[in-house]
């Protein structure tokens, strides 16, 4: 049984004071699904302060794949583990596109996160042009191969894969749940080929791209979709609590 995961990705939003306001108003009803929040680095201490006693884990949105050293401006997995992070988003399309992160670099990040006992949320997904040219699966396969081709199976099972079609992110135009399910199935089959069936059955696959409280259920009903990575809608405490409550209604 794969536990449903609802992951909030705040991106570059909320100052520490705004994060404090968010948490004061955040009252998710407990349930069987897992809920996490990935704030900007600067909000991790305040996030920890508010979430520590609640049982809601937190994560980060990025990491540099070295323990320490002369990497000005970067944050190491050791630092994130020290701040109590349980998850780290790796290879979000905004980082791949805006900051030029390569598949190989993202794979290094995934390994570094696992080495420090945290779980990577590996983002994969195609651009609109790749989709229109029928290259979506080939692109996603490349992104998966870079990570899973030489990962030990016990480590591979801990990776969470977020399928985020780039055209659906922040556009208000979510993918059709049935289409997202086809890609999630493809992702599971690809991991099965790169690792084995047992590993592929354990990996949680999320959908991301314009998820809100009014469409979350459609995605969670799909067999191979085990949760969601949520940007814009995770910035509003009531909306995120509502999404989580709907996820729990499916989990129970």
Please give the positions annotated as active site.
Answer: 92, 164
Number of residues interacting with ligand PGA: please give it, by CB under 6 A. 13
Which listed residue (79, 107, 161, 211) binds ligand PGA by CB under 6 A? 211
Give me the least distance between CB of 118 and ligand PGA, in Å please.
Answer: 18
Which listed residue (210, 215, 224, 248) binds ligand PGA by CB under 6 A? 210
Which listed residue (160, 208, 219, 226) binds ligand PGA by CB under 6 A? 208
Nearest partner of 231 among 93, 127, 102, 135, judged by Cα: 93
| Inter-residue contact 206 to 225 (CB < 8 Å) | yes
Burial of 198 (0-12, 13-18, 19+ CB in 10 A): exposed
Which listed residue (170, 176, 201, 238) binds ligand PGA by CB under 6 A? 170
Distance separating alpha carbons of residues 126 and 235, to the nearest angstrom: 25
Residue 91 interacts with ligand PGA (CB under 6 A): yes or no: no
| Element (DSSP H or E) covering residue 162 | strand 160-163
DSSP state of 58: B
Give me the least distance between CB of 223 and ligand PGA, in Å please.
Answer: 22
Give me the least distance between CB of 165 and ligand PGA, in Å please.
Answer: 10
Q: How far is CA 233 from the centre of its chain?
A: 14
Q: Cβ closer to ligand PGA: 79 or 123?
A: 123
Q: What angle do the packed helices 103-115 and 136-148 form, to 10 degrees?
A: 40
CA atoms within 13 A on the CB side of 2: 25
x/- track of binding to ligand PGA for residues 9-28 (CB under 6 A): x-------------------
Give me the least distance between CB of 66 and ligand PGA, in Å please.
Answer: 25
Which residues, numbered 119-158, are part of the site for ligand PGA (CB under 6 A)?
none
Q: Which residue has the tokens 């996820």?
A: 247
Angle CA 161–242–15, to nearest 5: 75
Give me the least distance between CB of 169 and ligand PGA, in Å please.
Answer: 4
Residue at shortest CB range from ligand PGA: 231
Distance separating alpha carbons of residues 249 and 159, to the nearest angstrom: 25
x/- track of binding to ligand PGA for residues 218-237 (CB under 6 A): -----------xxxxx----
Interacting residues with ligand PGA (CB under 6 A) = 9, 164, 169-170, 208-211, 229-233
């Amino acid at each position: 049984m794969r536990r449903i995961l609802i992951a909030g990705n705040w991106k570059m939003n909320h100052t520490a004071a705004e994060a404090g306001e968010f948490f004061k108003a955040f009252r998710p009803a407990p349930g069987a699904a897992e809920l996490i929040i990935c704030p900007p680095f600067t909000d991790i201490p305040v996030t920890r302060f508010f979430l520590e006693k609640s049982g809601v884990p937190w994560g980060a949105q990025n990491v540099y794949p070295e323990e320490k050293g002369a990497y000005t401006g970067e944050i190491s997995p050791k630092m994130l583990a020290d701040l109590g992070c349980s998850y780290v988003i790796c290879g979000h399309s905004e980082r791949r596109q805006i900051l030029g992160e390569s598949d190989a670099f993202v794979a290094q990040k995934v390994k570094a996160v696992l080495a420090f006992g945290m779980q990577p949320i590996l983002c994969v997904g195609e651009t609109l042009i790749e989709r229109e040219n029928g290259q979506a699966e080939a692109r996603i396969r490349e992104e998966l191969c870079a990570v899973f081709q030489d990962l030990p199976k016990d480590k591979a099972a801990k990776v969470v894969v977020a399928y985020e079609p780039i055209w659906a992110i922040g556009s208000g135009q979510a993918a059709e749940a049935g289409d997202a399910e086809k890609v999630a199935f493809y992702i599971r089959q690809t991991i099965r080929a790169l690792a084995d069936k047992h590993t592929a059955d354990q990996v949680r696959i999320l959908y991301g791209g314009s998820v809100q409280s009014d469409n979350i259920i459609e995605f969670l009903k799909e067999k191979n979709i085990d949760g969601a990575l949520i940007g814009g809608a995770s910035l509003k405490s009531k909306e995120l609590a509502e999404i989580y409550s709907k996820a729990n209604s499916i989990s129970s």
